[in-house]
Amino acid sequence: MIASIVLTLLAGGVPYYLLLERSGKFDSKTILLFSAFLLLCAVALTSVVPMRYEGLFATIALGSSLFSIYRAAKTTNFYKLGYHLIFINAPFFILFESFSAMYSLSLLVALLGLFIVARFYEQNYGSANYHHITGIMLATPYMGTFLTFYLITLSLYPPFPNALYFLSYMFKSTPDPLWYAVVIVVFFGNFYLAMRVMTETVFGKPNPNIHYVLMSVREKMTHAAVFALLFILGIYGVKEALL
């Protein structure tokens, strides 16, 4: 029971970001890093403490997930989107118990990519807000391509690892009403939010009011490394799905 409560908290099963936001002491970047760290702890903890299915916690996490989808749809800041995505995926972590570690890991890697993009925006455009950075695929194609990869991964599109783990866990588990609710909410929540970002910042006409900054070689290499990680996780995901 206690382990479940701890794991629910660590995995983002309750929207504690509300308290952090309200305190005014933490900016969105810190909340993202903090939430990601706690999720990482949860992943590590599952390898030590055996998890057990707790319907109540999964239901709480589902409520948190729905609320986070609503909140995420209101923001155009990558950092905020990042931590909302952690909370949106929490019921999956809790419901699918031992299967969820790899899924959460690939979620974290995709969020790492998103975080690097957000930091690039912050450094060059003053904030991680993407509302006005439109048409990056045309203006800065490298950035557009990497961001597209991350968003497609997050939107649970095959053959990227998140989708593969998601599918393989779906095939291996036994459905019940809560299962259906979680799968639907997590799948469509991720998909909707990722696609929303794509239409707003990746596609369309570049904004003539801003000066687009190209990525340096070092930044490209960093993204390539994240992409390589996702690729490795993807191969592992294929293996999982086939076995």
Partner 1 sequence: MSILKQLDAVKDTIPHYWPIGSFIHHNPLKGFEQMPFKEGLKAAQSVFGGQVYMDSAYFMARYREGKIDDTVFENNIRELLDKCALDIPLELAKRFLMDVSPQWNALRTKYAYKHEKIDYGLYLHLQQKTHYYNEARWLEHLVSHMTLYEINDALFGYGDKERVERQVIEFITRFLDEDQTTMQMPNRELGMFETFKIYAGLERSIDAESFVEEALNRLKVPNSQAYLLTHLLKLHGWAGFIKYRSEDPDYYAQQQYPSTLIDYMAIRLYYELEAVSTRRISDFERFETYAAAKPSHAIMQILKQKNKLMGPALDALEAGEKTETILCNYIENAINLDALQIQHSNDVLQSDLPLIELADILGKLKEEEGYLWLKSLEDSYILSFADEFAQASDTETVTADASATFCLDVRSEVIRRHIEHRGHYTTYGAGGFLGLPVAFVEFDKAHELFLAPAIVKPHNVVFEIPVESSDEYRSKKKVTKTTKKVLSDLKNNPYTPFITVEAIGWLFGINLFGKTFLPQKTQRLFSKMKPQKPKTTYTIDKLSDEKIENYVKKLHTKIIAKLLISTAGREFSDAQIESVRRHLLFGEPNSVALSEAVLNKLKSTYQITPEDYAYQKEKLGQVGFTLEEKVFYLNNYLTMIGQTDHFPEFVTIIGHGSVSDNNPFESALDCGACGGNISLPNARALCMIANQSEVRDALKKAHDITIADTTVFIPGLHITTTDEIKFYDTDLLDDDARKRFERIQLDFNAASAQARMERAQALPYTKTHHDIVTKSMDWSEPRPEWGLAKNMGAFAGPRSSVRHMKLDNRLFLHSYDWKIDNDNADILTRIFNGPLVVGEWINLEHYFSTVDNHIYGAGSKVYHNVVGKVGVFNGNYSDLKIGLPTQSVELEGEAYHEPVRLLTFMEAPLQKVLKAVENSIAKPFILNEWIRPVVIDREAGKIYSFEHGEFIVIKEI
Query: What is the contact surface with partner 1 in residues (CB under 8 A)?
Result: 74-77, 80, 121-129, 131-132, 134, 205, 207-211
80 or 223: whose CB is closer to partner 1? 80
Min dist CB 37 to partner 1, Å, is 23
End-to-end Cα, the chain, rounded Å: 32
Nearer to partner 1, 22 or 218 (CB): 22
Q: Which structure tokens are listed for 44?
A: 């590590």
Quick one: 68 or 162, whose CB is closer to partner 1?
Answer: 68
Copy the structure tokens of residue 109: 């890697």
Residue with tokens 């990497």: 146
In the complex, what is the shortest distance from the CB of residue 216 to partner 1, in angstroms, rounded to a whole number? 14
Ramachandran class of 156: left when φ > 0, alpha when ψ lies in -120 to 50, beta otherwise: left
Closest distance to partner 1 from the beta carbon of 55 (Å): 35
Whichever of 50 and 208 has its CB closer to partner 1, that residue is: 208
The distance of closest approach from Cβ of residue 203 to partner 1 in the complex, given in angstroms and rounded to an integer, is: 11
User: Which of 66, 67, 48 minimizes the C-alpha distance to 6?
Assistant: 48
Contacts of residue 163, Cβ cutoff 8 Å, sequence gap at least 6: 153, 156, 157, 237
**Cβ distance to partner 1 smaller for residue 27 or 176:** 27
How many angstroms separate the CA atoms of 117 and 63, rounded? 29
Nearest approach in angstroms of CB 149 to partner 1 is 21
**How many angstroms separate the CA atoms of 154 and 158, rounded?**
10
- Closest Cα to residue 8, out of 34, 38, 29? 38
Please give the single-letter amino acid code of residue 209: N
Q: Quote the tokens at residue 34.
A: 């903090």
Question: Nearer to partner 1 by C-beta: 163 or 193?
Answer: 193
Q: How far is the CB of 219 from partner 1 (least distance, A)?
A: 17
Quick one: how far is CA 56 from the chain centroid?
23
